[in-house]
Each structure stands twice: as structure tokens, then as C-alpha cells.
Structure 1
């Protein structure tokens, strides 16, 4: 029996039809479920020598970690944390890039019942101040790479709740830093599952993550111990991981996407995870890794597929690769078609947020991708496309993507607990039995959802509601366009004009002729009223530290220049 079968009662392939999957898929979650004990430690007991992770450094160093070794090092890390006074309920900040130490720390905190708080190494002092003050961080574990420790030290005087700070590569740090690696090494590898008041319950907070902050300060998204089981749908049914396979999701550990593709669902499916600790994304480099390490399942944002497609993909031996997925932003049909032509593989899109696991996707083999569609609601999530009053709209009508969730007790496994220390935002997004995602889409007659954009990003022009993704997808089909961001600019007649801020591919130059060519192209590809009446060429687009385009920043810049 594969690990995930213990929690859904069946093998993935035992579901005969999509209707069978929707009707009978159910996750059983024990009241004391704890992923570190009930999945990792069980795998270490049952399959101690099976590979859990293949880690590759930026300079090619390799580290193969079995499930038994992962358990041992997480036990040692738990003992080290405990020796420092970390206990159940404490919040610990982890800024570890793609180091294997992140997995040791995560499993250790799960075992203690402490709350892991992920963060990216791109944070500056003001970012650390906000996060530590807002969450009440007790301890920070920081990578010595780059300027991370310097930025944290600048923030430290205002981070009153932080009692300890530990660092990797201790010799590179300044005063007051604990040596994280030496502390783990010296700790005992004997650890017992806590009982009594120190034991965890499935309703306890497991992790807390900061949202991307595309429109304001990041919100603090909290998840309970049932969250990993929500990723059965992510890893088993969407990523299609296999026992003994090697799954590669491109994500930094500073973001929840790393938990989507580098831990929970993959280990529940008894697949190893491939972790490449690179500093800068390079399409050719990633293709080389897919070939060299015979990656079997793969997930990356559409932008990274676009960069890989600028290489000669057909020249790489990718025969081991069986299944490809994407998430993080909407997938342009052009990227889908080019990747399929180059590899013979379809890209299976998925949709979710920091607040969810994958809640809409293309589920092979029951459903095949429809280029441009985000897929169908995944079993376990009851999704509706609703109007402003929360009433479901008819097929073809644009509305907000909402998830039925009467209250915390009846919510889907994988849906968040709420925004930590923020009842106002929790009530604003989760009310009347629905969690409101803030994303707009329409449903077609077959039940497929088609993404329109964030509610705040919709452009109202001459009575039309225009989603940025529709125009950006059209622009992506032109060879001159590397990436684009579509926003609205005020117009006294139309209300707003559609504006495209564009980064051109190498070999193309901004000009009036190029503007006309791109405008004509959009008119041919999509409804003519959507074409960008205003085009601005830039060398780069404003993005969050997670890489998502900040259209709000473009809008603010345009409003200041009026």
C-alpha cells in the first residue's frame, strides 16, 4: 500500500471515471495526524533506504538523502530546537533558500508542534521588521548566502520578540549568531513523539506563510496539520508522482509553492524530490538537469517554460519525463503548444493560492488540457463562480471564483484556517459560507474554468470588462514579446484604455511601427475591442519578490504621471 492510500482508502488508478473520483474521493484525517510522524517516520521505518531527496548545489555538489536519513536529521534538529527553548506553538522564521537544511527544520518543527514561517532570502530589513513584528517570531534561521544576515541584523533592534538567531555557514556571520549546522550535528538523534499537552492535534497551526503582497502588505496565511493531506490531490492526482520517481518543482523554499511540489504530496506518493539550489534561473541549465537526473515529473511557472523554450529543447534527451504541470500564473496557449511540439508532452495547469492547495486543475487521465483553460474544480473543493451577492452565475458569465466553506470545522482539507492575527481580512474574504478568492473566471458548458484575472486588475472600458490575461495571452503569441503586463489607464471618453507594458525579446526594438504591429496582432487574435490603445516598452516589469507581476505598481506610476 502506497502511503497516500492510508488516507483516501484507494489507489489512484482504482478510480474508474472522473465521476467516480468526484463522488468517492474523501480524505480521512486522524485527530492527531502529524505529517512528520505519520508519513516521514513511517516511510523511514518501512522503506529506510528509499531516496527521499536528491539535492544538487549551484556548483554541482550532490547529496542523496534517504527517508531514514531524513528522519534521523529531523530528529537531531528537533532536539537542537528544543535545547534552545523552542516549544509547541512558537513561531520560527526559516530563510534557507533551497538548502536541504530546510527539510530538516520543517520536519523538526512539525514534530515539536512549533509553527514554521517560510520567507525568501530576498527580504530587506524593512521586510524582516514587518514579518517579525506582525507574526511575533521567536527564532530566525537564516542562510549566510548574500546579505541576508546583514539585513536581518539591521532589522533586529525593532524585532523585539526574536530571542535567537541561527545561521548556516557560521563563519560567514557576524556577532550573536548561533551555528545552526554545528548545533544540529551535536544534538541527539533520539526523539520520542510528545504526549499529553505537548502532543499536536490536527486543528493546531502547522505553518504560517506571507502572501505575495501584489496589492499591499502581505497577509499572514495560517494552515493546520491537515494541510499536508490536502496535497494528496496536488502531488498524486495533478503532479502524477510515482513511487520511486523523481519530482522537480521549481520553487524557492520561501514560498508555499515549495510545499506543493517539494514535500507533502510527493512523499505521500513515495516519490523522491529533486532540489536544485541554483541562484539564477537559466533555461538551458534546467533542461540539462532534467536530462542528467532523469526527472520523471516536473512543475514550473509558465514564465520558466517560456525561457526554456528559447533553447533548443529537442536537443535534450527528456525521455524519462512523463508528466508536466504549471501553476503560479495563467498559462498562455502559445507556451502549451510550443512545449508539446518540442517534447510531445502536454502541460497540465493547476490553480490555487497560498490559502489553498490545488483547487482547480487538469486531472490526467480523466481530463485532457484545453489550452488557455485552468481546468476543472478538483475533488474535495466545492467551487462556484459567483456574482457580487455570492450567487452562482450561468456558464459564460464572468464571476468570482469562490469555495464553499461554511466554517472552519467543515472546511476542505487544505483550505487555510484564516489570516493570522487578522480577523478583519479573514471576515472580508471568508463569509456567507464562501471563501472569496478575489480571482475572476467564467465556466464553460463543459465545466472548464477560464481565468480572467484578479478582481482588482479588471479593466472597464466603454462598458466592456477586459481581463489582463486575455490580452497578455494574445501578445505572447507574437515573437517580439518576451513578457507583458496589461493594465487600465484613465480615459475621459472610455473610462479606461487598455495599456500594455511590454518587454521585448532580443533582436526587437521599440518603435511606432512595432506598436502598430502589436496592436494589429491583438485585434486578429482576440476581440478587437481588447487591443491595447497604449503601449509602453520597458526593460523589466515590476514584480513581487516571489516573481508575480505587480500591475498595481504600473497603475500607481501612471496615475502619478497624469
Structure 2
């Protein structure tokens, strides 16, 4: 028996990108299970995961994930293709759960811990989640989300990495389940990303798509090996965080150091404590860490830095390099493409440039007519072993054009094939590595009685790359004030994930619109 919900909602063949398997490394056998393949990377006794709660080997991780798979299949009725929602911070148990779902043939749907119940409910509805495994610290919000939906039938709680929750108790006496015999093109995960309309897009990735970033970007630009310790600030619901903290180290026999509170001070502290050699985070975090007193101690082990999530300013790259001697590897990736597809490392880095196409990928610049440009400015387009497959979403036709994945970024390509970021091509706001859809923030503001109309844009911010700014037309009874601004900001934080709130609010008498009533965001950007 197989649940074909995901397969039945994949884009039609004529809307799929062209997949390229030019590298021998990405020509995978027909039958493979990504979890089993990742766990082959390390020897059984080697360190796999370390954090403030303990240290776990590859054997520990393999056995625990296998017991979780058996629990799901034999006691919770999971059949291959069922969607399993994961809710909780990065950690040993969460990573074992992720692997266990894949071993059982399920489809992982990880969620960011910051999401509010309404946002989680949307994910549940879109993916028709049947099972959920939730950190007990998040169970209250999660049950609120479940109450708004009609799909989740099986909920299992765990207790962080303290190892005494329901999941740990129920799996303690079980024998590990051997990985299900999955096809390389069986769906393995759905990663949700906020679109410019605020409606989440579910990006479907197959088992082979999980391995591809390891065997392209990680192998050719990062070069992980046994003894390395990787850490990232990003939750595993972001495929950037999933790659740096779980996929890359496991594929090459290295270890992952996990951290729940990924503030710059906490990251530096964890780097020192766990001997982190490879760090992945956003440019704003690198800039903030420069002023942390413990950085010198962290540099005793740190050798490699990866930046993604937003454009890496040249000034930040140079400041970090001058202070640490480490040349940050910048990169652009997307949830649709699973991970980074344009980057440069080591001596190939040109400060301010994102880099060149990662081995295994082809990049180009398209003009408005869809023609490739050898040099010049235009839309960044990508082909490679991974590509966009939206779950039942008409926006597929916009992301894929003539076989190319259109990332939504405007870039300049120089004569040497280096790509230089110019701007987002749409209304997405990228702040501290988070993608924020302007209309989602607008909808939250409009729910407040004092707001008659509003428009949200991203404005340049030295600390975050961009910050959310709202222009608001107030109701007749309301008056602009600092107190009202604080109330509106708090209101938004309670409606949607807190990082999406408008950090700047400007009160206006009217919003600029076209003759047909369409909002002119360009006028606001030039305000």
C-alpha cells in the first residue's frame, strides 16, 4: 500500500525544469533511501551529533532512527507516502526523527519553530499531514493548529534531547526497522517557503535530491571529512540549515553541533565548547559575531564559513576575513532547488560576488524575452540535478521557463562568469536570512481595527540586509504615535512569526495607486 497524495499533485511534465546529471556523482541507482545513504557516511563509533545535552555516535543515530521508523509503521500505521510534520528545534532527537521518517518511507514536512498556529495550520492543510512528531515545548501551539484542520490523526511528543518523552519511552524496547526500499524518485520531503503572496509554496524533493547538494556543492566547494564539526544558526526547516547541519556532515562522516538559541553570543559559545570547524549562517550574524569577546577562542577550531540566505555585503566579507583570516564562502540557493547552486570558495572568491555555477549546475542570465546573455544584467536562471516541483501550485509555471529554474533574483554576469547580485525580482523581503512575503505582513496589520490600508516593502538595513517597513493609512479614530506603533508591532508578532513584524512604520494619508487601483510599490521604494 502506498499513499500517492504527493505524486498525484506534482507539476505536469511540461512544467518541470530540465534536470541535468552531468556529474557522475549524481547519477544515482534506481533504488535508494536517502536516510540510509547519509548514515553510511560515518563509522558506527564516530561522533555524529553533539550539543549541550550529550554526544551521540553514528550507531546511536542509526539505531534510534530505526526504532522511530518501526514505531511509525507498526504502531502508528504509517504507509509510504504519508506526510509527517516535525516541530521542534535542531537537535539529536529531531535529526533522528527526520531520518526515521525517511527510513519508514514517509515524507518529511519540517516546520520552523517560530511559526504561529495559523501558519502551521496552513502547512497541515496544504500537505494533508497524517502524522506529527512534536517537541513537548511546542505542543500547545501545535494543538491549536490541529484544531483548525481535519487531517492529523497521529501525534507523538518528545522531550527535546532530555531523552524521557513519549517518543523515547515508546521506542526504547523496539528493534530498529530496516530502511524501506524506496526509489530515488520517491518524494522524501516537502519544504514550505513563503511566497510573495504570503501563501506558502510546498517544494517537493525526492530521495536523490537530498544527496545531490552533498555531492555537488559540499563535495566540490566545502570538502567535509571525518573529524569536522558543522554548525548552523538555521533551523532544519530551511533547506540551507538542513544541508549544513545534517546532510553534509553525515554524508562525509563528520559531526553536527546543534544549538537551539542561535544568537551570535550563543553561537560563539557553542563553537568554543564543541570545537566547531565549519559554520553556516547569515551575513548579519557574521557581522554581529565580530564584536563577541569569545571569538578568538572559537577561531582555534573554526576553518570554514558558509554564508547564505541573503546577499553577503563585500564590507562584511572583508571585515570577517581581516579579523579571522577565513574567506567566507558565499552562495545563493533556494528551497525550490534544495540548496546552493552558485558559489565560490577559497582562492576563487571575489568579494562582493556570489560566485560561479556550482559543479553539476549550469547558470545563465535571461533577458525579458528569455534569451541567455553571456554578460549583462537579467534574471538568474539555473539547471542541474535538482529543480522546482511545487505541490499542486499554479506558480510552478512562473518559476520554470523553458526548462530553466527562474530564481526570482536579478543578477549581473561578468566576462569571467561570476555572478553579482543586484536585487530580488519580486516583492520578497529578505531580512537576516528569512524570506518574508510583504502581503502576509499587510494582512496581519489589516486585522487591527486602527489600520484602514497598508503597504509593506523591504528597505535597506545595514544590520539585516533588508528590514520590513510598513506604510499605514489609519482609521479616522486613530492618531499616529509611538505607542500605537509599538501596539501594531506587537499585534503582528502575535499574528504571524515574530521575525516578520514591521521594524519601521510610517503613517501616510494615502497609498500610491495606479488608475486601476493597483498599489504602486515602486513609488514607496523610492519614497
TM-score, with length taken from structure 2: 0.76
8 Å CA contact 1:227–1:413 kept in 2: the answer is yes
Provide the residue aligned with 1:88 in structure 2. 80
What are the Cα deviations for residues 154-200 of structure 1, in whole angstroms up to 9, with x where unaligned? 23233211111122239x9xxxxx922322224x1242344xxxx31
Question: Partner residue of 2:399?
Answer: 429
Partner of 2:371: 391
State which of 41, 49, 55 in structure 1 corresponds to 2:51.
55
String of CA shifts for 1:256-304, please: whole Å, max 9, x gaps: 22221112222222111111222xx432332222223221111111111
Matches within 5 A, 1:115-514: 115-145=107-137, 148-169=138-159, 179-186=166-173, 188-194=174-180, 199-232=181-214, 233-278=216-261, 281-312=262-293, 315-356=296-337, 357-364=339-346, 367-395=347-375, 397-404=376-383, 412-416=384-388, 418-422=389-393, 424-457=394-427, 472=460, 476=462, 484-485=466-467
**1:44-70 CA distances to partner (integer Å, 9 max, x unpaired)?**
6xx2101111122xxxx3x11111111
- How much is the aligned-residue C-alpha RMSD, in angstroms? 3.3
Query: Does the aligned pair in 1 maintain the 2:22–2:360 contact within 8 Å?
Result: no
- Aligned pairs, how many? 441
CA contact (8 A) 1:235 1:269 kept: no
* C-alpha separation in 2, matches of 1:90 and 1:557: 47
Greater relative contact order (CA < 8 Å, ≥ 6 in sequence): 2
Q: Is the 8 A contact 1:214 1:549 kept in 2?
A: no
- The change in CA–CA distance for 1:106 and 1:439 in structure 2 (over 3 A counts) is same
Does the C-alpha gap of structure 1 residues 77 and 153 become closer, same or farther in structure 2, counting only changes over 3 Å? same
Residues 439, 160 of structure 1: alpha-carbon distance in 2 compared, 3 angstrom cutoff? same
| 1:508 match | none
CA 1:286/1:376 → structure 2, altered by over 3 Å: closer, same or farther? same
Q: Give the match for residue 8 of structure 2.
A: none
3-state SS of 1:276 partner? coil
Q: 1:334 Cα deviation (Å)?
A: 1.4
1:184-224 CA distance string (max 9 Å, x none): 224x1242344xxxx31111100001103454211011000
State the shift of 1:116 in Å. 0.4
Checking the alignment, whether the CA contact within 8 Å between 1:228 and 1:414 is kept in structure 2 is: no
Whole-Å Cα distance in 2 between the matches of residues 458 and 242 of structure 1?
Answer: 36
C-alpha contact (below 8 Å) 1:239/1:299 kept by paired residues = no
Structure 1 556/438 Cα, relative in aligned 2: closer, same or farther at 3 Å?
A: farther
- Conserved? CA contact 1:237–1:363, under 8 Å: no
Alpha-carbon contact 1:90-1:114 (below 8 Å) kept = yes
* 2:217–2:359 contact (8 Å) kept in structure 1: no
Q: Which runs of 5+ in 1 are unaligned?
A: 1-21, 173-177, 405-411, 460-469, 490-537
Instruction: Answer whether contact 2:187 2:207 (CA < 8 A) is retained.
Output: yes
The Cα shift of 1:457 comes to 4.5
Structure 1 counterpart of 2:90: 98
Q: Deviations over 1:345-392 (max 9, x none)?
A: 11110110001121000133xx43212111111111111110122211
- CA–CA distance in 1 between the matches of 2:509 and 2:301? 50
Q: Give yes or no for contact 2:284–2:464 (8 Å, CA) kept in 1.
A: no
Q: Matches of 1:227 and 1:115 in 2, distance apart?
A: 13
Deviation at 1:88, TM superposition (A): 0.2
Whole-Å separation in 2 of the counterparts to 1:315 and 1:539: 37
Shift of 1:425: 1.4
1:432 shift after superposition: 1.6
Summarize deviations over 1:372-423 as a string: whole Å, max 9, x none.
Answer: 111111111111110122211241x22111123xxxxxxx33324x11122x
Residue 339 (structure 1) shift: 0.9
Distance 1:484 1:430, change over 3 A: closer
Local SS of the residue matching 2:349: coil
* Partners of 1:362 and 1:557 in 2: CA distance: 43
Query: Structure 1 pair 164/296, CA: closer, same or farther in 2 (3 Å)?
Result: same
Q: 1:441 to 1:313 in 2, by over 3 A?
A: farther
Q: 1:546 to 1:390 in 2, by over 3 A?
A: farther
Q: How does 1:63-74 map to 2 (within 5 A)?
A: 63-74=54-65
Unaligned ranges ≥5, structure 2: 1-20, 430-457, 472-487, 513-527
Number of the residue aligned with 2:36: 37
Q: Distance in 2 between matches of 1:458 and 1:360?
A: 20
Give the conservation status (yes or no) of the 8 Å contact 2:87–2:135. yes
Q: Secondary structure at the match of 1:54?
A: strand
